[in-house]
Amino acid sequence: MNAVAQRKEGAALEPGDLRRFDLRRLMALVTKESYQALRDPSTLLIAFVLPVVLLLLFAYAVSLDAKEVRVGVVLESPGASAQSLAAAFSGTRFLKTQFAHDRREVADQLVSGALRGYVVIPQDFEQRLAQRGAEPLVQIVTDGSYPNTANYVENYARGVVQTWRAGLDVAAPAQSVVLEPRYWFNPELESRRALIPGAIAIVMTIIGTMLTALVVAREWERGTMEAVLSTPASVAEILIGKLLPYFVLGMLSTLGAAALAVFVFGVPMRGSLAALLLLSAVFMVPALGQGLLISSLARNQFLAAQIALFTGFLPAFMLSGFLYEIDAMPAPIRAITRAVPARYFVDSLKTVFLAGDIWAVFLPNLAAMAAIGALFFAIAKRATRKNLE
């Protein structure tokens, strides 16, 4: 064997030409990482199948709109006016009404969950209506264990009664101000349109934070990190070599999800593609930074997954304004959301899809994401040393 002897004469690396940063070494690491990502079915599953599943879920399974809510109408009064009010209830497409003559019938159904509420038109309805000035008494009973639906039933039932009363009492003075509500950006108020852009932020968080934390932890677990650390490769090369492929993967996944949103789910795209890409690219900074930070703390995949779930995925899900409106949260929680990078991304995504390129919204959000990202990277850099201590 004379491999060693040969190498002594060969143009091997001399200690003298050591460099802190070497593009060839970086490319070698990027190539390796890309092969691994492409060969690992779970990576591709997370990057390309998971977004589809999530979008489908938010498009069809999760709906914050109340449609066809089952409501009972108890008609205790046989009078004509009562009949016409009952007809007004059955005439709306937002409620699905079921008629009864005894409130006991529907009370049981409310308890069993078959109905979400019921309206009682009482026996003395006609008399009260006949007395001038006295309001007809209609009772609305709702299921308080579903507070949103209960609110909705109450408001809607109130609306039905008022509309019916206005139509009945022609003699009543005309309202001086007529409110005609108009919903911008999402005229049909379909929650799907608001949810799908936000779902992209969830997908990016999973790829940026969870996947990155996992793949670094995997290197520690399998002992390959130790081998790479013992080569001349520097920490910066190892980290960038790790992040670059997942940055590209995240961007590809965003593009795929955006295409799906626009062409399959009919979400409008009122802003520009360039803005979407810029926003996504900047969001990858805190997402990857967080993944890196987790991986410098947790050196096994289980722990890394747990930390990524609690510090990355859940906040992105609950505190980003994706599912729950931030304005509706109590002040302390609202303050916490400011530290969640996904919050700025969800806001920007909704804007770019539903409103357009509004740089007054984008710029502060971009700045916030970049700042949080820079902080994560700075901490991760401090926490990562080129040894096993």
Partner 1 sequence: MQANAAMAATPTSAVAAAAVVIEGVDKHFGKVQALRSLSAHIHYGRLTGLVGPDGAGKTTLMRILTGLLVPNAGRVTLAGYDVVRDNDAIHVASGYMPQRFGLYEDLSVMENMRLYARLRGMDADRNADLFAELLDFTRLGPFTKRLAGKLSGGMKQKLGLACALMARPKVLLLDEPGVGVDPVSRQDLWRMVQALTDEGMAVVWSTAYLDEAERCESVLLLNQGQLLFDGPPQQLTAQLEGRSFRLENVGAERRAVLTEALDLESVSDGVIQGAGVRVVLRGGAQASQIQALADRAQVALAPVPARFEDAFIDLLGGGPGGTSQLAERLSPVELGSQIAVSCRNLTKRFGEFTATDQVSFEVRKGEIFGLLGPNGAGKSTTFKMLCGLLKPTAGEAHVVGHDLRRATGAAKSRLGYMAQKFSLYGLLSVQQNLEFSAGVYGLEGNTRRERIAEMIETFDLGEWLSATPDSLPLGHKQRLALACSLMHRPPVLFLDEPTSGVDPITRREFWTHINGLARKGVTIMVTTHFMDEAEYCDRVAMLSRARLIALDTPDALKRAAANVEHPDPTMEDAFIHLVESADREMEAAA
Residues that bind partner 1 (CB under 8 A): 1-8, 10-13, 15-20, 22, 24-25, 27-29, 31-32, 35-36, 39-40, 222-224, 226-233, 386-389
Report, in Å, the least distance between residue 284 CB and partner 1: 24
Between residues 148 and 387, which has the closer beta carbon with respect to partner 1? Answer: 387
Closest CB 297 distance from partner 1, rounded Å: 17
CB of 298 to partner 1, least distance (A): 18
d(CA 100, CA 105): 7
Q: How far is the CB of 347 from partner 1 (least distance, A)?
A: 38
We find the least distance from the C-beta atom of residue 228 to partner 1, in angstroms, to be 7
Q: Which is nearer to partner 1, 54 or 233 (CB)?
A: 233
Residues 6+ apart with CB under 8 A from 224: none
Residue 31 or 155: the one with the smaller Cβ distance to partner 1 is 31
Nearer to partner 1, 16 or 332 (CB): 16
* 284/31 Cα distance (integer angstroms): 20
Residue placing its CB nearer to partner 1 in the complex, 180 or 389: 389
b/e for 270-305, b at 16 or more Cβ within 10 A?
ebeeebbeebbebbbbbbbbbbbbbbbebbebeebb
**Residue pair 386/234 in contact by the 8 Å Cβ criterion:** yes
Question: CB of 287 within 8 A of CB of 209?
Answer: yes
Q: How far is the CB of 33 from partner 1 (least distance, A)?
A: 10
Q: Cβ of residue 237: shortest distance to partner 1, in angstroms?
A: 9
Nearer to partner 1, 13 or 259 (CB): 13
CB atoms within 10 A of CB 227: 10
* Burial class for 199, CB neighbours closer than 10 Å (0-12, 13-18, 19+): buried
Closer CB to partner 1, residue 145 or residue 387?
A: 387
What is the nearest approach in angstroms of partner 1 to the Cβ of residue 216? 14
CB 85 within 8 A of CB 59: no
Nearer to partner 1 by Cβ, of 31 and 272: the residue is: 31
Amino acid identity, position 83: Q
